[in-house]
Structure 1
Amino acid sequence: MKEAKSELRKIVAFSEKEHQVFIENKKEEIVAFHLQNNPFYRQLVGSKNSKNWNDLPVLNKQNLQKPLSERLSKGYSIKNSYINKTSGSSGDPFIFAKDKYSHAMTWASNIYRFGWYGIDFNSSYQARFYGIPMDFIGNKKERFKDLLSNRFRFSIFDLSDDVLEGFLKHFRTKKFDYINGYTSSIVLFAKFLQKRNIILSAICPTLKVCMVTSEMLFEDDKILLEKQFGIPIVNEYGASELDLIAFQSRSFGTDVEWLVNSETLFVEILDDNNQVVPNGTSGRIVITSLFNKAHPFIRYDIGDIGILDEKSTLKKPILQKLIGRTNDVAILPSGKKSPGLTFYYVTKSFIEDDGNVKEFIIKQTKIDSFEIEYVSETNLNLAQIQKIKKAIELYLEPGLNFKFTRKETLERSNRGKLKQFKSML
């Protein structure tokens, strides 16, 4: 860790020109290493010109769904590497490896960015909104890790009012420094506070900041969180197999920049033909891990769609917008393709007016049919449903069929994530 922190400090201090040299050298170095030491990557590249970066293959998650032993570099094993599994939120989970120095660089990057908000991983007390294994051994193991990591976990599998009341008691009695966890769960807690007219920082004055992760944070949800928590809200974007990908530099005021990690990662935005798109244009987010020698993540398609800001530079890339996952696209009868988030924006603007609906998900069941599952205190009325349908016709196209189903709870992944749009086609 000491060596990793020292190297990160040097990288951060580079000028724009020095950073460009650093990136080009690290790209060349990591490709050369894996071509020489990783049979899996060598086979993937094949006869392509490895000297030309744009000729290198784009790695996808399906490529990686084979035994880890077949993907490890020479000299690396399960015993001498950090091993973990992706969440599978894209539908393609796999086991991955990082060498220990690469893993240390990931932690150095985390420590650096959280430090922007006065958070010290060694001493700051975390309120953690995450899932937890339900089996006895897995549960105890995770609780023990929480103890060592100076964090208290709020399990998010049950978010009923009685359970949230229990959450509130902990904030009254514990000196939390920051909140970290899944967006949808933290937003639900904020809505609970809103109903009770409670500002969280008033009952837990030690709170400094809230970091939300793993799910989309919408602007009106951010405003709600800032109001009910009374602290800055930071939007984090990361991937367990890589690193923190982007982290907001500021939270209060209008000058909010979602800074991309350019110290341990190289991020590209590509079109469907694997060509780099101009800044300001949407495309597939493709990432290279510059330090991981145990396992190749070179031009790795993470499965998300995003836009880099036009004023981005190589040293300071800015993520203007994260649009969603590449598999979260609705195909409509006219042939039009629409990101699943379109439905979320449209319905959200109407059905949350009175605070009745707590959360919802949208499923495409047929080319012209969608089901909206929602959790609410009372059923949606006919007027609300008609408003939603009119908005969908305006933003998408007419002739679509919608079924509204009220639920007690919504289906989450085994880690507690809420997938807001899902195509069943």
Structure 2
Amino acid sequence: MKEAKAELDKIIRLNDEQHHAFIENKKRDIAEFHLKHNAFYRNLNTSAEYTWWKNLPVLTKKNLQVPLQQRLSEGFPETKVYINKTSGSSGDPFIFAKDKYSHALTWASNIYRFGWYGIDFNEALQARFYGIPLDFMGYKKERLKDWLAHRYRFPIFDLSDKVLDDFLKHFRTKKFDYINGYTSSIVLFAKFLKRKNILLKDICPTLKVCMVTSEMLFDDDKNLLETQFGCPVVNEYGASELDLIAFQNPQDEWQVNAETLFVEILDEHNNVLPYGEEGRIVITSLFNKAHPFIRYDIGDIGILDEKSTLKKPLLKKLVGRTNDIALLPSGKKSPGLTFYYVTKSIIEDDGNVKEFIIIQTKKDTFEIDYVSEKILAPEQIAKIEAAIAQYLEPGLHFTFNRKTTLERSNRGKLKQFRSLL
């Protein structure tokens, strides 16, 4: 960690010209390393020699769904690397590896960015809103890891008022420095506080900041969190197989990690798009020698801001996942979160609905599952259907299903839109 922190600090101090040279050298170095020492990556290329960056293939998660042993580089056996698995929220889960130095740089990057908000990983107590394994050994192992990492976990599979009231008791008795976890669960906790007319900072005055991750954070939800928590709310975007990809800085910019990663925005033909244009987010891990993540299509769609530079890229917009696209009868394609956003603006007006998801079952048919205190009124349903007809297209059919809880992933993520097509 000491060596990783020193290297990260050196990278951060580079000027624009030096950083440009750093990126170009690291791109070439990591590509040449894997072409020479990784048979799996070499077989994906048309040549074993590095010629030009744009000639390198764009990797997808499906490319990587072969046994891990086949993907590891020479000199990096499974016993000497960090191994984990992706959440599977994209529909394509797989096991991955990082060499220990690359993994240390990941933590150095986390420590650096959390430090923007006065969070010291060695001392700060985290309120962690995440899932947890439910088997005995898995549960105990995760609790031990939490204790060692100075965090207290709030399991999010049951978010009833009774459970949220128990959460609140911990905030009264523990000196939490920050909140970190899945957006939907933290938003639900904030809605509970609003109903109770409680400002979290009043009962937990040590609270400095809230970091949300893994799920879309809408502006109105961010306003709700900041109001009910009484502290800044920071939006982070990351991937377990990579690093923190983007992290909201104190100037309210979504700053992309340009120290350990190289981020490109590509069109459907793998051409690099200029800043300001929407495309596929493709990422290179500049330091991971154990496993190739070179021009890796993470499965998300986004836009880099026109103000971006190579040293300080800014994520202007994260549109959604490539597999979260709704295919409509007219032939139109629309990000599924468009449905979610339009519906959200109406469905939560009176505070009745706690959370909801949208599932596309046919090109013209959608199901909306929601958790609420009382069933949706016909006039609300009519407003939702009219708004979607206006923003997307008319003639779509909806079924509204009131639920006691919504289905989450085994890690506790809530997938807001899902297409079954």
**Common fold by TM > 0.5:** yes
SS in 2 for 1:32: helix
**2:366 aligned residue:** 370
Matching residue within 353, 357, 363 for 1:361:
357
Within 5 Å, give how 1:111-260 maps onto structure 2. 111-250=111-250, 255-260=251-256
Instruction: Please list the CA deviations of residues 205-247 of structure 1 after superposition, one character each: whole Å capped at 9, or x if unmatched.
Output: 0000000001110000000000000000000000000000000
Matching residue within 241, 265, 275 for 1:279:
275
Shift of 1:194: 0.3
**1:289 aligned residue:** 285
**What amino acid is the match of 1:294?**
A
Kindly indicate whether the alpha-carbon contact (under 8 Å) linking 1:258 and 1:319 is maintained by their aligned counterparts in 2.
yes
Q: Distance in 2 between matches of 1:237 and 1:47?
A: 34
Instruction: Please list the CA deviations of residues 379-403 of structure 1 after superposition, one character each: whole Å capped at 9, or x if unmatched.
Output: 0000000000000000110110100
Kindly indicate whether the alpha-carbon contact (under 8 Å) linking 1:96 and 1:241 is maintained by their aligned counterparts in 2.
yes
**What amino acid is the match of 2:313?**
P
Matching residue within 257, 261, 281 for 2:257:
261
**What amino acid is the match of 2:342?**
V
Instruction: Please list the CA deviations of residues 165-206 of structure 1 after superposition, one character each: whole Å capped at 9, or x if unmatched.
Output: 000000001100000000000000000000011000010000
Matching residue within 308, 311, 322 for 1:312:
308
**1:13 aligned residue:** 13
Query: Which segments of structure 1 move beyond 6 Å, counting only runs of 4 or more?
Result: none
SS in 1 for 2:290: coil
SS in 2 for 1:313: coil
2:418 aligned with 1:415, yes or no? no
- Equivalent residues, number: 421
2:29 aligned with 1:29, yes or no? yes
**2:390 aligned residue:** 394
Q: Distance in 2 between matches of 1:170 and 1:101?
A: 36
Q: Distance in 2 between matches of 1:32 and 1:113?
A: 30
Matching residue within 373, 377, 384 for 1:381:
377
**What amino acid is the match of 2:266?**
L
Instruction: Please list the CA deviations of residues 1-57 of structure 1 after superposition, one character each: whole Å capped at 9, or x if unmatched.
Output: 000000000000000000000000000000000000000000001238731111110
**1:337 aligned residue:** 333
2:51 aligned with 1:51, yes or no? yes
Instruction: Please list the CA deviations of residues 239-272 of structure 1 after superposition, one character each: whole Å capped at 9, or x if unmatched.
Output: 000000000002xxxx410000000000000000
SS in 1 for 2:272: coil
* Runs of 5+ consecutive residues of structure 2 not aligned to the other structure: none
SS in 2 for 1:306: strand
TM-score of the aligned structures, taking structure 2 as reference length = 0.99
SS in 2 for 1:122: coil
Q: Distance in 1 between matches of 2:381 and 2:87?
A: 34
Kindly indicate whether the alpha-carbon contact (under 8 Å) linking 2:35 and 2:48 is maintained by their aligned counterparts in 1.
no
Q: Distance in 1 between matches of 2:225 and 2:364?
A: 35
**What amino acid is the match of 2:191?**
K
Kindly indicate whether the alpha-carbon contact (under 8 Å) linking 1:49 and 1:56 is maintained by their aligned counterparts in 2.
no
Q: Distance in 2 between matches of 1:361 and 1:49?
A: 48
**What amino acid is the match of 2:151?**
R
Kindly indicate whether the alpha-carbon contact (under 8 Å) linking 2:32 and 2:49 is maintained by their aligned counterparts in 1.
no
**What amino acid is the match of 2:335?**
P
Shift of 1:278: 1.3
Kindly indicate whether the alpha-carbon contact (under 8 Å) linking 1:49 and 1:55 is maintained by their aligned counterparts in 2.
no
SS in 1 for 2:28: helix
Identity level (%): 75
**What amino acid is the match of 1:70?**
Q
Within 5 Å, give how 1:37-116 maps onto structure 2. 37-47=37-47, 50-116=50-116
Kindly indicate whether the alpha-carbon contact (under 8 Å) linking 1:249 and 1:259 is maintained by their aligned counterparts in 2.
yes
Q: Distance in 2 between matches of 1:395 and 1:120?
A: 45
Kindly indicate whether the alpha-carbon contact (under 8 Å) linking 1:372 and 1:405 is maintained by their aligned counterparts in 2.
yes
| Range that drifts further, 47-56 or 156-165 | 47-56
SS in 1 for 2:194: helix
Instruction: Please list the CA deviations of residues 143-176 of structure 1 after superposition, one character each: whole Å capped at 9, or x if unmatched.
Output: 0001111100000000000000000000001100
* Runs of 5+ consecutive residues of structure 1 not aligned to the other structure: none
Kindly indicate whether the alpha-carbon contact (under 8 Å) linking 1:373 and 1:404 is maintained by their aligned counterparts in 2.
yes
Q: Distance in 1 between matches of 2:51 and 2:84?
A: 31
Matching residue within 296, 300, 316 for 1:300:
296
TM-score of the aligned structures, taking structure 1 as reference length = 0.98
**What amino acid is the match of 1:371?**
E
Q: Distance in 2 between matches of 1:164 and 1:363?
A: 27
Q: Distance in 2 between matches of 1:214 and 1:345?
A: 17
**1:348 aligned residue:** 344
Kindly indicate whether the alpha-carbon contact (under 8 Å) linking 1:180 and 1:210 is maintained by their aligned counterparts in 2.
yes
SS in 2 for 1:79: helix
2:420 aligned with 1:424, yes or no? yes
